[in-house]
Structure 1
Amino acid sequence: MSRGPWHVAVLMGGWSHEREVSLMSGTGVADALESRGHRVTRIDMDRNVAATITGARPDCVFNALHGVPGEDGSVQGMLDLMGVPYTHSGLVTSVIAIDKELTKQRLVPHGIPMPKGRIVASDSLYEGDPLPRPYVLKPVNEGSSVGVAIVTDASNYGNPIARDAKGPWQEFPELLAEPFVAGHELTVAVVGGKALAVTELKPTQGFYDYDAKYTDGLTQHVCPAEIDPEIADYMMELAMRAHELLGCKGPSRSDFRWDETQGKDGIFLLETNTQPGMTPLSLVPEQAKYAGIDYAELVERIVEEALAGAEAR
């Protein structure tokens, strides 16, 4: 597959909770492609996006959207119908991976350790806790730690959770409740069919929530993580297996919690993200840099993989 020059439509923005992050990702991608001599059409997604893409006639769409509808299979299905090659994972993988319960149903039977949990109606939280505290509440199909709450005995949500307490129960009718896994927050990027590294995320305050992910200075990234090599290797193996079992294409990023007091048995996969961020603070570009791949080269590789896959089909 030739390195171009290509005409790439960079799809970004949209109307999800992660719009601003998507705009940052898309701008970085577009700038990188232009720096390598490629023609770029920047598209801030709206309801007329299909007509916009048809009019642009790109060789490939770089999907820099985060959240719904760019990450849940909707955009992937549209582009499949249009016959336009696109980066990242396809329709079926996107539908499964964005849904944390469907992801568990796919991965756990194959031996991938994930926290046990259950879907609860948000209204039921005002009557009592669904699990012993501490536990985690999160939307079933959002990314970037959007709407995540850790409920502890010391939290100011109330016991039971008060109706006027600010939290995801006010925004989402249903939530996934999981036991809280104490310990380390770690992540592994897979690019080009290879796990790159393990990064430990150390928030300077609170936990690794949406603000900590995208606000400079709120989280320390330790890459590679300063952990036992056997633990790191096992985590990278789990990330690769999850990537393959879900049928991911292009880059993915698997997020883990690790209770070091339990050794390998304390490792739990939380989710595999099929649309990982491409902002200056994002983890996939950071791990790629550690592996000797600069940002522009990473972006080109992602487009090249998408074009090669379309050509093979």
Structure 2
Amino acid sequence: MTPEQSIWFAETFDALVSNVGLALLGKEHTVRLALTAMVAEGHLLLEDAPGTGKTSLAKALAATVQGSHHRIQFTPDLLPSDVTGVTIYDQSTHRFEFHPGPIFASVVLADEINRASPKTQAALLEVMEEGQITVDGVTHPVGRPFMVIATQNPIEQAGTYRLPEAQLDRFLIKTSLGYPDRASTIEILAGAKDRTTNLTPRITTQAVGTMADLAQTVHIDEVVLDYVARLIEATRDDSQTAIGASVRGGLALVRTAKVWAAAAGREYVIPDDVKDLAQPVLAHRLLLDTEAEFAGVTAIEILGRILETTAPPAVRVG
């Protein structure tokens, strides 16, 4: 990435954040994380109470990049074919035709994903990892960009199926929206309408692909890579974790750090980029041991301690 390209990237990224922010007031940091996941070609997991703006975020992202948006309400009786699509025999043409499911969209909101059966949850694994769906032996690409925003309700756990660690690992970032501050709440109440309907696209879906390719050319020094490696090793060695971050978690941290750096107008990654993203990228990948869970310890607290005790590179990078 050249300095000129990094300036264009940062200006474009800020324009996207501002546009989404017109629909999602007072949530700039979360919007930046969501756009980072999109440009890094990953997926987002939101753990939030109902009514915090999860659907608005998905619709605003799709509208901003001139893409399509589908919402899937996950329920216990949802079948995998309800998500991926189905092949139906057409008597007029005497041929089998594929009818795509709602997964074929730029931004897919998988609402309350943990309410569906494990079999239906597993239907998302291939498309989230490889960007394609295989039905009756035929592969169907979903296009680019493609992003799943899945939600979980942290309060109501009755009748839910906990996401297995293998599937949690497929989500690039996990975060929450939370409730807006009072000033933003008053502004939302004053409008009392869907703010996503008036959003105009800022870039095309092809331009998002260009940004994704460009972000991967951001330089990351070996000392920063060593810092990432020491962080994920520390999550495995911590006494309160049963399973730490995998190599996939380390790769996710590198991918997102490159986008974060480019969004700041830099063509190289600094340790602060890694520190900013360590918790949203790694926390959901940690499995705590039984004693720590009973004691009320959280993965966020463990990562906070690891970030404090793991020294970042002291040399200048970039």
The normalised TM-score by structure 1 is: 0.27
Q: Which has the higher contact order (CA 8 A, sep 6+)?
A: 2
Which is richer in helix? 2
